[in-house]
Amino acid sequence: MQTRIRHKTGLLLVLLLLLSLNLSGCRLTYLLHAAAGQAKLLSGAVPMEDGLQDATLSDQKKDRLRLVPHIKAFGERTLGLKETKNYEKIYLASSRPPVYVISACPKDRLAPVTWWFPIVGRMPYLGFFDLETARAEKDKLLAKDLDVSLGAAEAYSTLGWFRDPVTLNMIDDSTLDLVETILHEMTHTTLYVKGQGLFNESVAMLVGKIGALLFLEDFYGPGHPLTLEARDSIEDERLFASYIDALLEKLDSLYRTPIPFQTKLKQREKIFSETLDEFRRLRPKLKTDRFTGFGLVPLNNAYLLTIGLYHRHFHLFEELFLEKGHDLKKTLVFLENLAANEGDMIEKMRLELASKRNT
């Protein structure tokens, strides 16, 4: 079991793009695979009403399915997320996660391998609908002596180009997970900065976490167990974000040291061992099971950067949210305006917040 992470894959008008772009054989094969998987989801999805009549769904899963339009409406009405036709259908054919995600990184640098795609730009991961295909890609990357991570995504977004359906794994999980996932993916459709995966996932994490708490407070009330769970989840996010940020800073400092490659590898193994001890001390402070899977697979740069992609900068984004009056809609509008000019979004946010602190 790995830390729960949410990925988005760039499956955007793939078939039309193939007609106009000069792509290499490997890239063409990957896009054809992605297009086939997306087409299968779209063609197999049925209206929500039909899903609610499906005898294979438990009453609990049907209750979660009934919640989906309320989550979507809240995101659009209250949080300012873009209105789309997403999550109006459900794909009932399989309960497996829809995408398997591969990421890679050199063993002596925190510099993720990226892949370029039309419209979305450079992405720090690849998404596959087929596990064996993902494993084959993993083997190719391992043969290049890279750190590699293979995980399963709970959901993904096509940024509004297709009508993304609800998948069974989304309603298999907890109600809180469902709310967070839908708001997370709706954020990608609302605000996406080309080639800046760290920013895109971080802002979606903020909206998913804070938005879920706001929705559950509104729908069930402030004292409901689900609302209390959402508050606990945010507290855990803060603790884990600080932990993973400190770990990545420590590794980055090591990798910048002018020492031999093999020495770096030996010293990073010591850091990995120490950090697992630190996490064991952190675990009793966590109020939910969100991060209980951390460290159950061997640590490497790719795995840690994938986790950092979602969690490392939560404090930075929460600080912006607080500065904008605890208003997610205003936060998103500000970030959309900030994205109008070129530049690294994380650095621009840091500068903006630093200037606010000094006034």
- 204 pLDDT higher than 70: yes
Structural domain contains residue 70: yes
Q: 105-163, pLDDT tens digit by residue? A: 999 999 999 887 766 677 888 878 778 888 999 999 999 999 999 987 766 666 555 67
Distance of alpha carbon 332 from alpha carbon 321, whole angstroms: 9
What number of helices (H) and strands (E) belong to the chain? 14, 8
| Structural domain boundaries, residue 326 | 14-357
- Asked if residue 241 lies in contact with residue 205, where contact means CB atoms within 8 angstroms, the answer is no
What pLDDT sits at residue 275?
96
Structural domain contains residue 224: yes
- Asked if residue 52 lies in contact with residue 65, where contact means CB atoms within 8 angstroms, the answer is yes
Distance of alpha carbon 65 from alpha carbon 170, whole angstroms: 9
Q: Return the structure tokens found at 11.
A: 């499956």
- Asked if residue 306 lies in contact with residue 147, where contact means CB atoms within 8 angstroms, the answer is no
Structural domain contains residue 6: no
Distance of alpha carbon 316 from alpha carbon 353, whole angstroms: 9
- Strands 89-91 and 166-167, by their bridges, are parallel
What pLDDT sits at residue 19?
34
Sign of CA dihedral 129, 135, 136, 140: positive
Q: 253-290, pLDDT tens digit by residue? A: 999 999 999 999 999 999 999 999 999 999 999 999 98
Task: Give the pLDDT mean for 241-256.
Answer: 97
Structural domain contains residue 91: yes
- Total count of domains within the chain: 1
- 168 pLDDT higher than 60: yes
Structural domain contains residue 4: no
Tell me which residue of 19, 28, 340, 35 sits closest to 194, measured CA to CA: 340
What pLDDT sits at residue 92?
80
What pLDDT sits at residue 156?
62
Give me the residue label for tokens 């999805």.
Answer: 45
- Asked if residue 332 lies in contact with residue 322, where contact means CB atoms within 8 angstroms, the answer is no
Structural domain contains residue 9: no
Q: Return the structure tokens found at 314.
A: 């939560």
What pLDDT sits at residue 297?
87
What pLDDT band is residue 349 in, cutting at 50, 70 and 90?
very high
Percent of the chain residues past pLDDT 90, beyond the cut: 60
Please name the amino acid found at residue 313.
H
